[in-house]
A and B are shown apart, each in its own frame.
Chain A
Amino acid sequence: MLQQLEGSRAMAVAVGLCRPGVVCAYPITPQTHIVEDLGEQVRSGRLQNCDFINVESEMAAISVTIGSQAAGVRSYTATSSQGLLYMMEGIYNASGLQLPLVVTLGNRSIGAPINIWNDHSDAMAMRDAGWVMLFAETNQEAADLHIQAFKIAEETCIPTMVCVDGFILTHAYEQVDLPSQEEVDDFLPPYNPKMQLDLAQPQAIGTMVPPEYFMELKYEVHENQKKTVAVVERVGAEFRKKFQRHSGGLIRSYKTDGAKTIIVTMGSVAGTLKDVADELGDEFGVVSVVSYRPFPTDALVAALRNATNIIVLEKALALGVGGILANEIKLALGGSGQKIRSIIAGLGGRLITKALLKDCILAHDGDPELFLGLRHDCVNSLKK
């Protein structure tokens, strides 16, 4: 049913429809509205058979959900920025223990300097933690990806994070079509753990693994991540079939057929970029990466194959190195000879406007690395 909803609320409703048994989180802007709403769902009885637990830190939040998931109950938490860093040890632990948690990350920059606004620095800080990481473009997709996330996580035993741009999605009101409980139940079967704390068959979960076995375990997890590309794609297709709309999958291509210049990006800014591509004409297309992890190398190579110019626009960077997504795309396209430019945009919530985007997209001989809208008057080394 179409409703005008805040993004956080839409996601909270979607998560509730997935019937988690334990929800546990710690407040941090811009994630808070999601868990507030889930708390209300539990207290009002709309979400039954769910324990909503207030904890003293993000470390506790991820740890409670690690415990409850290991005991065989579908578990959920949400965080942002500093909170993600605070739970980082648990983030790696959850994937190492192969616990299919689902976590929402309301993307926000990382301090210092402290800044509550949106960019993707937090997500990038955990890019090698062995999680599935999906990026939403709209509030509709943000809601839909959660329903897919539980399915992907539980099928692969890989914890799954849904990344949603802080404020731009979490606090924006948009029309969202939310499914019914029956539809979600039909799509997402009850959690059937592949491993759990079982009284009938006691086993030790989380033992120390010595050098004789450690490499093999990591190799298996690595291979499993790679195979998950197919799962993310399939679940996206199943979702499309069931709910009659395109959400999820590996990447989304827009006007790429015949495009000479393709802009690659992640998250909500894809919407703005599509408008820009429309205005610039047929030679411009957009590819947004929905599944950042597993990294959809083949799909990206296929989508970008015929473009002469590739521009990677991202809201994060490896300090002293450059664009993270840009470098991964360079690696994926290795030796293709295509021109690849990197644009760093929107750090700490800096506005990304169509005018700025057009200028730098059209600057064909532009800098191979450009900071969109950088104020030269504020940077000492750039002052004339």
Chain B
Amino acid sequence: MSYSTIRDRFEPENTALQSDYNRPNTLTSGHRACQGCGEATGARAVLDTAYRATNGNLVVVNATGCLEVLSCVYPENAWQVPWLHSLFGNTPAVAAGVASAFKIKGMHDVRVIAQGGDGATLDIGMGCLSGMFDRNDDVLYVCYDNQAYMNTGVQRSGSTPAYSRTATTLPNAKYFGNAAGTGKNVPDIAMAHGIPYVATASIANIQDLEKKILRAINIRGARYVHVHVPCPLGWGYPPAETVKVARLALQCGLFPLFEAENGILVASTPIDVLKPVEEYLRLQRRFAHLFGKNANPEAIKMLQQIANKNLEKYRLSGGLSDV
């Protein structure tokens, strides 16, 4: 299976929960996300799946960031689940405490999801995240990766891609956006901790995302799911194109979909129609300086190489079982 629409008339078993009129709506309407926000879409899909899988025995801990700010500004609240926000950099530890409390109370059916943006996860929260992995705390941590600090106005994070324009990596005559050769790969870091389950997912493949969350929520111990969530505001594309942009990231190989158990890669999703990275980059203003007057074909070549490496490393042309 690859990238079908969320409702599949021909293969009903492939129909996503998100297409169900009676989905739980954990993040209900009325919140303040920008139109076309990939993060809000991703969070709702993740939590709806987890909510249904746990019969509502679900508690959510949220880091500071767009997802927190868009969902509840007092006295409004769009969450339909018990939800806790403490700080920007401590979410994995707070979630560990919540999990420990429910264990002590003997409420073993309750599952805890921690969630945050890329900045919360792999920059300021890295220490707490590593600690949560180290102790194998009974938490499913979900990172919504929009590749920059969106909530503070699109600054560079450790997940910002090479050459990307952000407010702190502005391109000019001397610089082509974010420096190449920087950044970190959290799914790899998570795998290096040997935790029971690590997966990547995308809002362009909701069925795949739902399956992975379903798998993750039923495992105990530390689990990590990294979701690619384009941001129209930060990346510079029309809100209606969020899923298209997300899909192209998959199809060019820049965002590989895979699963790992106990630190070992066990499955990846082959690309259905392989696309050049350029097609993905051209849609987004954050890469606009690579094209046009001061074009930088070398940079595009570099990004293509990164994609090619992913094809090989995660066997995106087939070779591992389809998830």
A residues adjacent to B (C-beta < 8 A): 21-22, 24, 49-51, 53-57, 59-73, 75, 89-90, 93, 97, 197-199, 202-210, 213
Contact = CB atoms under 8 A, between A and B. Distances in A.
B177 to A, nearest CB: 31
B90 interface: yes
Interface string B31-50: 00000000000000000000
B82 A197 contact: yes
13 contacts: A21-B105, A24-B100, A56-B131, A63-B87, A63-B94, A67-B93, A68-B98, A70-B84, A71-B59, A71-B102, A204-B83, A208-B69, A208-B73
A73 B103 CA distance: 10
B74 A72 contact: no
Interface residues of B, number: 44
Interface string B53-66: 00011110100000
Interface string B124-152: 00011011001100000000000000000
B12 interface: no
Contacts, number: 157
Q: Chain B interface secondary structure, helix, strand, loop or mixed? A: mixed
Most buried by A among B74, B79, B102: B74
B116 to A, nearest CB: 13
Nearest to B104: A21
Contacts of A71: 59, 97-98, 101-102, 105
Contact of B59 (A66, A89, A197, A208): A197
A63 B74 contact: no
B127 A64 contact: no
A67 B82 CA distance: 12
A71 B82 CA distance: 10
A204 B90 CA distance: 17
B110 interface: yes
B5 interface: no
B101 A72 contact: yes
B117 interface: no
B195 interface: no
A67 B135 contact: no
Contacts of A210: 73-74
Closest 6 pairs (CB-CB, A-B): A67-B97, A71-B101, A63-B93, A206-B85, A63-B90, A64-B97
